[in-house]
Chains A and B, each alone.
Chain A
Amino acid sequence: MQRFTCPFCGLRDEREFRFSGEAGKTRPDTTRDVSDQQWRDYLFANRNPMGAAREVWVHQPCQEYFIMERDTVTMDVIGHQQLRKDAE
């Protein structure tokens, strides 16, 4: 079983995490015109890289959404990036 680092909780079992999608996708402003292609790309187009990938994951116990960079071939975790400000 793999282990991932949640920016808040630290190193935890992979089963506590859920993949939430490819990082870097911004929701189009639907109050304006959005073409079928734009919407399709937002929903379905993914780069699916072989090697380093930037992904949005959620650590379910604390519900923290964050970015994880992983190697999709070696399963190495390259790094992570928190999205939330530290509410200390």
Chain B
Amino acid sequence: MRDDSTKWHPALGMDRHDIDTGGVRISLIHPDRMTLISGPCNAALEWSGIGTAIGWPEVASGHSYALRCRRDQILVVNGPDLTDGWHADRGLAVSDMTDGFGVVDICGGDALAILCRGTEISHEEPSRSANRAFFGYAVMIYAYDAQNHFRMHVPRQLLDGLWSLLQSFAQQASVVAEMDK
């Protein structure tokens, strides 16, 4: 029976301050909806009205897009409102995961350097899936909108651990950028 309350920093809320080092800005974003769909990928995309499911290093853009998780699974961001369950007519399984992920936006000159601290990732090695291990955290990483701009989805319960890690990486990256000047 131990009270470790003081050993762990209180979890930050969903409206936390951005991390801004000048070399990168890291913020939490809140999609209106996230939906996990399993089954034939093309059928899932058609039903959601989205053209393609992003892996790496394709660039997602706009309000609605889809991420390729597995051979037979996508995550739709800001897609249509679908009912949870098995849809026999389409052969697709649906689960609302809107509250299941923390979504982290990473933007700036140091952004790729931060990713390279957590995993071996490069534009020269494409991958069909956005799913990756980042310093041991199971996340989705993808390019969003522009160069030096990425997003990361993490299971909600590990958002605080990941956030604290990204903070360390951002500080390290800005130190290296300074020293290399």
Residues of A within 8 A of B (CB): 3, 8-13, 15-16, 60-64, 84, 86-88
Contact = CB atoms under 8 A, between A and B. Distances in A.
A5 B138 CA distance: 18
B126 A10 contact: yes
Interface in B22-72: 39-42, 55, 69-72
B72 A10 contact: no
Contact of A64 (B71, B126, B136): B71
B132 A16 contact: yes
Contacts of A61: 129, 131-133, 138
A36 B69 CA distance: 41
Contacts of A63: 70
A15 B39 CA distance: 27
Given A11-B125, A61-B138, A87 B131 contact: no
A10 B128 contact: yes
Given A9-B128, A10-B128, A87-B72, A15 B40 contact: no
